[in-house]
Structure 1
Amino acid sequence: MVHRPHTVAFDVVETLMTLEPLRGRFVEIGLHTSALERWFDRMLRDGMALTLAGDYAPFPSVAESALRVVGGGRLSDDDARYVLDGLATLPAQDDARESMRLLVDAGISVVCLSNGNRDSTEAFLDRSGLDGFVDQVITVADVQVWKPSPAVYAHALSCIGSAAHDVALVAVHAFDCHGAHAVGLTTGWARRLEKHYPDLFTRADVIGDDLVEVASGLVALSPD
C-alpha cells in the first residue's frame, strides 16, 4: 500500500513547463500548427532510442535533430535557431505553482527530474518563480540516459537520499509514471495532456485532472 511521500519529483517539460508558446514559432517558419506535437514526440522517441542503443545525446542536440526531421530537412539555421531559442522563454503551466505550494505546505519536499539540462531547467524555475519551492534539480545528463530508463530514477533516489517508497514521481506522461513505478516510486499522473492512461502501462497510484488534484491526492495518502 502506498503512503504519503516525503519527496515529490516533478517532470518538467509539459508537466511544469508549457510548450504552447512555441506553436507560433513553428507556424512562422512555415510549418503546420501540428508540428509542435510531432517535434516533441520525435524528440522523446529519439532520446529513448539512443538510450536503448547504449548511446546518449543531450536535450539540445536531440531537440535540434528532431526539429530538422520534422522540417523535412529544409529548415535554415536561422529558422531552427528561432524555434529552439523559444525554449528559453517558456512559462510554467497554470497548475504548477499551486500544486507545489500544496506539497510544501504539507511538509513534502519538491525536486525536479528532467530530460532537459540543468541550466535551462534552473533558468525556467527562476523566471517562473517556482525556484523557491524546489530543493534540487536532477537531470538525465548526470547518468547519460533518457527517461524512462531505471537508471534515471535510481539516480534521483540517490540524489534525494530516500528509499523509493518515500518518493513520488509526478508527470503528465504515462510512460514516465510507468518507469518510475517499475523501480518502486509512488506515481501521480495528471490527465490534462494525454487524457487517457494507456492500459499497457502500470496505472499511476494517484490520478487527477491537473497537477493540483494530483498533489492533493498525494497529500491525502496515509502517512507512514
Structure 2
Amino acid sequence: MSDPAPVSTIVFDVNETLLDITTLEPLFERLFGDAAMLRAWFAELVLYSQAVTLSGKYTPFGELAGGILRMVGENNSVAITDADISELKSLIVSMPAYVDVKPALDRLRAAGFQLVTLTNSAPSPSPTPLEKAGIAGLFDRHFSVADVEKFKPHPDTYDMVAKAMGVEPSGLCMVACHVWDTIGAQSAGWQGALVTRPNNNALHAPNVPTPDFINSDLAALAGQIIDANTAAGKE
C-alpha cells in the first residue's frame, strides 16, 4: 500500500457500504428458494450498470434493478410480477445502516473531515434511504450519479464530486465495499478505502490499484484513515 497524503473529504458509497443489502434476502428466498440469489442479482446489476454507461446510455438505477430482477427470473424460469418489482424497490429504499456505520461517521466528523455520499441510486423524495436509516444528517452533502447520467466507476462521477466540493482529487478518499469503486476513485487521483463486507474483498492483479486502507470493520477503517492523515500532516 502507498503512504497516503492528507485528505480533507471522505466520500462514501451507499448501497452495501453503508446500508445492509442482506435485508433483501427474504425476497430472493421467496422468489427463488435461495437467499444467495441476491448475490447473483446484485452482480448482474453492477455488470449491466457499467455496460449501460460504456454504451453511452443511462437509465435510473432503480429501474435497472427491476429489469435485472426480471432477467434473473427468466434465466431461472421464475416469473417475476409487477408486485415483486414493487417489493424490491420498497425494500431497497428501506435498508438499515450497518451497526459500524454511525460510530465510523462520528469518529471521522470529530476528526474534522467533510463527509459526503456518492451513490449509483437516483435521488429520492424525503424520507430518503439515508434518512430512514437515521444517518443522513451526519453528511455534509449527498451526490448521485444521476447528475451526470453515468454509473460508477466512470471518471465523470468522481470528477463531479471533486468539482462540487472544490477539492483537488488528492484531497478526497473513497470509502466503499466494492473494489471496482475504489479502483475508479484511485484512478481519478483519489485515495481508496475498502471495507470488506461479506463477499467483498480486494483485487490483487498487475496494474490494478490496491486500496490505501482495508478493514472488515468500518469504524476501524475510519481509524486507519485518521491515523494516516494525522501522520501525513506531521511530515
Alignment TM-score, normalising by the size of structure 2: 0.90
CA deviation after TM superposition for structure 1 residue 195, in Å: 4.8
Q: Percent identity?
A: 27
The DSSP-based 3-state class of the residue aligned with 2:128 is helix
CA deviation after TM superposition for structure 1 residue 3, in Å: 2.1
CA distance 1:172–1:4, shift in 2 (3 Å): same
Equivalent residue, structure 1, for 2:233: 223
Matched, 1:143 2:143: no
CA deviation after TM superposition for structure 1 residue 153, in Å: 0.5
CA distance 1:195–1:146, shift in 2 (3 Å): closer
- Equivalent positions of 1:161-200 (< 5 A) are 161-200=166-205
CA deviation after TM superposition for structure 1 residue 122, in Å: 6.6
Q: Which region of structure 1 is more displaced relative to structure 2, 44-53 or 124-133?
A: 124-133
Consecutive unaligned residues of structure 1, counting only runs of 5 or more, are none
Contact 1:8 1:168 in 2 (8 A): yes
1:199 & 1:120 partners in 2: Cα distance? 39
Amino acid in the other structure paired with 2:233:
P
Consecutive unaligned residues of structure 2, counting only runs of 5 or more, are none
Q: Which region of structure 1 is more displaced relative to structure 2, 82-91 or 102-111?
A: 82-91
Equivalent residue, structure 1, for 2:12: 10
- Equivalent positions of 1:1-224 (< 5 A) are 1-72=3-74, 74-119=79-124, 123-200=128-205, 201-221=208-228, 222-223=232-233
CA deviation after TM superposition for structure 1 residue 29, in Å: 3.1
Amino acid in the other structure paired with 2:146:
A
Contact 2:174 2:193 in 1 (8 A): yes
CA deviation after TM superposition for structure 1 residue 98, in Å: 0.8
CA deviation after TM superposition for structure 1 residue 146, in Å: 0.5
Amino acid in the other structure paired with 1:2:
P
* Alignment: residue pair count: 224
CA distance 1:195–1:19, shift in 2 (3 Å): closer
Contact 2:177 2:200 in 1 (8 A): no
The DSSP-based 3-state class of the residue aligned with 1:25 is helix
CA deviation after TM superposition for structure 1 residue 84, in Å: 2.3
Q: CA RMSD in A?
A: 1.7
Q: Deviations over 1:176-215 (max 9, x none)?
A: 0000000100111112234531113310111112211211
Q: Which region of structure 1 is more displaced relative to structure 2, 211-220 or 112-121?
A: 112-121
1:71 & 1:120 partners in 2: Cα distance? 29
The DSSP-based 3-state class of the residue aligned with 1:207 is strand
Q: Deviations over 1:17-75 (max 9, x none)?
A: 11111110222234421211111111111110011111111111110111101111621
Q: Which region of structure 1 is more displaced relative to structure 2, 6-15 or 80-89?
A: 80-89
CA distance 1:85–1:195, shift in 2 (3 Å): closer
CA deviation after TM superposition for structure 1 residue 4, in Å: 3.0
CA deviation after TM superposition for structure 1 residue 120, in Å: 6.5
